[in-house]
Structure 1
Amino acid sequence: MSLDAFIMGFVFIMIHLLANELIPSGRIQRLKWFSFSGGLAVSYVFVYVLPTLHKEQLLVKKYGDYFTMESELYFIGLLGVLIFYGIQKVVRKEQRKGRPGKARALFWLQILFFGLYNALVAYTIISHEVHGVQAVFYGLAVGLHFVAVAHDLWREYADIYNHMGRYVLAIGIIVGWIMGMTVSLGPLMESIVFAFISGAMILNVLKYELPPDEEAHFPTFAIGVVAYTTVTMSLKYFFQW
């Protein structure tokens, strides 16, 4: 495992353990934080996740005759959206019905699925051997995405998240970390894993990371989008990422 991958994995673990300590307590500062983070996350989806998913879709055709369409991996991504959206929808429905006992039990299911999500994200990053400046920029976007996810889970049930949930999410990172170093799934399976987590990430970014109108600070959001996109696209152009 490269030093870059080691540092990224360590940072991701610390994010889940200390996420709420990193977020400013003042309302205006917090709104700007999430607006900037949301801008980076949206930019990451459009300048990296979607183009990479398209590239992976073009590659899977050589893995077998059963890949005859131009959208198989997109269906896998859609499955990721469906599963994660369904779980979050069920938890929130039970909360609105005033069934705290059942909602808390389902929240554990949500925590476990996000632990799996973290493991797959960490595996993908480690197995793709992202290095140097590329690791910094992709790691920054994914790290801020993890902060937003952790904060969203903390707001639902702070006691569960602080007592056990954050450790489950951190363990997910460690599991993916170890898998990335020891397991080789093969190009086809790695494409399928990437497609699944891409769908889940797109859902989490667009539905849960974009701040609602009354909590958004648009100038900061726009700065995040423009700055991250400009730098990343420039590096793609000069270094052929």
Structure 2
Amino acid sequence: MDWTSLGLAVFLALVHLSARGMVFLESIPRSKFLSIAGGVSVAYVFIHILPELKEHQESIAESAALISYLEHHAYLIAMLGLVVFYGLEKAVQDSKKMNTEQEDKPARSAFWVHISSFFIYNGLIGYLLVQREDEGLVNLFLYGTAMALHFIVVDFGLREHHKDRYDREGRWVLGAAIVIGWAIGILTEVPDALLALLFAFLSGSIILNVLKEEIPEERKSSFWAFAAGGIAYVILLLGVG
């Protein structure tokens, strides 16, 4: 039993369950803490995850004879992750506009589609607590820290969309997804090529889920806080590496 990764999985689940208590995040202009957290998440993707896509690309190329005509499988999957979550975000926003007359949140069906996608997303992050190429406690805690901050950003966005429905149901589902993903990682080990595809999909998804929270003008986000968070974590990652 990997108690360290289990403890980190439980901690990440608790981030989802307790983030609603961070009332200081609910402000306009956007809380600088959220911008810093977003910067850290993106820094981890660009310094740790994207460089590994080259290695993952080799694993995919060796195993994907049927699609060997594609030269950049891993990068395409990363782009697919970004596009999928952009499509989900757009669908939720459209549902919210159509449902405004009844309640200022998306329809229940849109809520469950959104939560189901993040269930898979969180499960993958939980799985990668166990099945990761970077071994060692330091790398595990760097990953855990980046994901904890990322979950605060994600949680804030989901609560803003779905309001009390997210607090009643969504956060419990997403918290459980992390632990379930961890358990799957303990019990099974997927082939390298499939792990590479999952890793690539996650990288594109994280980038989209951070930037969609930072870019909208009405957020009045802090560029300097975002940049400071990213630069500080880059320095830390490079120093440890």
Q: Give the shorter-chain TM-score range.
A: 0.7 to 0.9
Q: Which moved more, 1:97-106 or 1:185-194?
A: 97-106
In the TM superposition, residue 208 of structure 1 has moved relative to its aligned partner by: 2.4
Match of 2:7 in 1: 7
1:206-225 equivalences in 2 (<5 Å): 206-209=211-214, 212=217, 215-225=220-230
1:154/1:33 CA distance change after superposition, 3 Å: same
Match of 1:83 in 2: 84
Q: TM-score, normalised by structure 2?
A: 0.87
Q: Give yes or no for contact 2:115–2:174 (8 Å, CA) kept in 1.
A: yes
Distance across 2 between alignment mates of 1:230 and 1:172: 31
Match of 1:56 in 2: 56
1:99-118 equivalences in 2 (<5 Å): 100=102, 103-118=107-122
**Percent identity of equivalent pairs:** 33
Distance across 2 between alignment mates of 1:28 and 1:109: 28
Q: Give yes or no for contact 2:25–2:34 (8 Å, CA) kept in 1.
A: no
Q: Give yes or no for contact 2:77–2:197 (8 Å, CA) kept in 1.
A: yes
Distance across 2 between alignment mates of 1:70 and 1:37: 34
Q: Give yes or no for contact 1:127–1:180 (8 Å, CA) kept in 2.
A: yes
RMSD: 2.4
Match of 2:42 in 1: 42
Match of 1:179 in 2: 184
Q: TM-score, normalised by structure 1?
A: 0.87
Quick one: which amino acid aligns to residue 166 of structure 1? R
1:164/1:204 CA distance change after superposition, 3 Å: same
Match of 2:207 in 1: 202
Distance across 1 between alignment mates of 2:23 and 2:47: 26
Match of 1:73 in 2: 74
Q: Give yes or no for contact 2:28–2:220 (8 Å, CA) kept in 1.
A: no
Instruction: Determine if the alignment matches structure 1 residue 120 to structure 2 residue 121.
Output: no
Unaligned runs of 5+ in 1: 237-241
Distance across 1 between alignment mates of 2:215 and 2:3: 32
Secondary structure at the aligned position of 1:17 is classed as helix
Quick one: which amino acid aligns to residue 11 of structure 2? V
Distance across 1 between alignment mates of 2:11 and 2:215: 23
In the TM superposition, residue 72 of structure 1 has moved relative to its aligned partner by: 1.1
Match of 1:92 in 2: 93
Distance across 2 between alignment mates of 1:210 and 1:147: 17
Quick one: which amino acid aligns to residue 152 of structure 1? G
Distance across 2 between alignment mates of 1:163 and 1:124: 27
Q: C-alpha offsets along residues 89-134 of structure 1, whole Å, 9 cap, x if unaligned? A: 1111121233557623211210111011100111122112743111
Alignment size in residue pairs: 236
Distance across 2 between alignment mates of 1:21 and 1:39: 22
1:128/1:138 CA distance change after superposition, 3 Å: same
Quick one: which amino acid aligns to residue 136 of structure 1? F
Match of 2:198 in 1: 193
Secondary structure at the aligned position of 1:126 is classed as coil
Q: Which moved more, 1:147-156 or 1:56-65?
A: 56-65
Match of 1:31 in 2: 31
Unaligned runs of 5+ in 2: none
Match of 1:239 in 2: none
Q: Give yes or no for contact 1:24–1:33 (8 Å, CA) kept in 2.
A: no
In the TM superposition, residue 209 of structure 1 has moved relative to its aligned partner by: 4.7
Q: C-alpha offsets along residues 174-225 of structure 1, whole Å, 9 cap, x if unaligned? A: 2101101001111111111112222212211222255747522333323212
Secondary structure at the aligned position of 1:6 is classed as helix
Q: Give yes or no for contact 1:23–1:33 (8 Å, CA) kept in 2.
A: no
Match of 2:168 in 1: 163
Distance across 1 between alignment mates of 2:114 and 2:71: 32
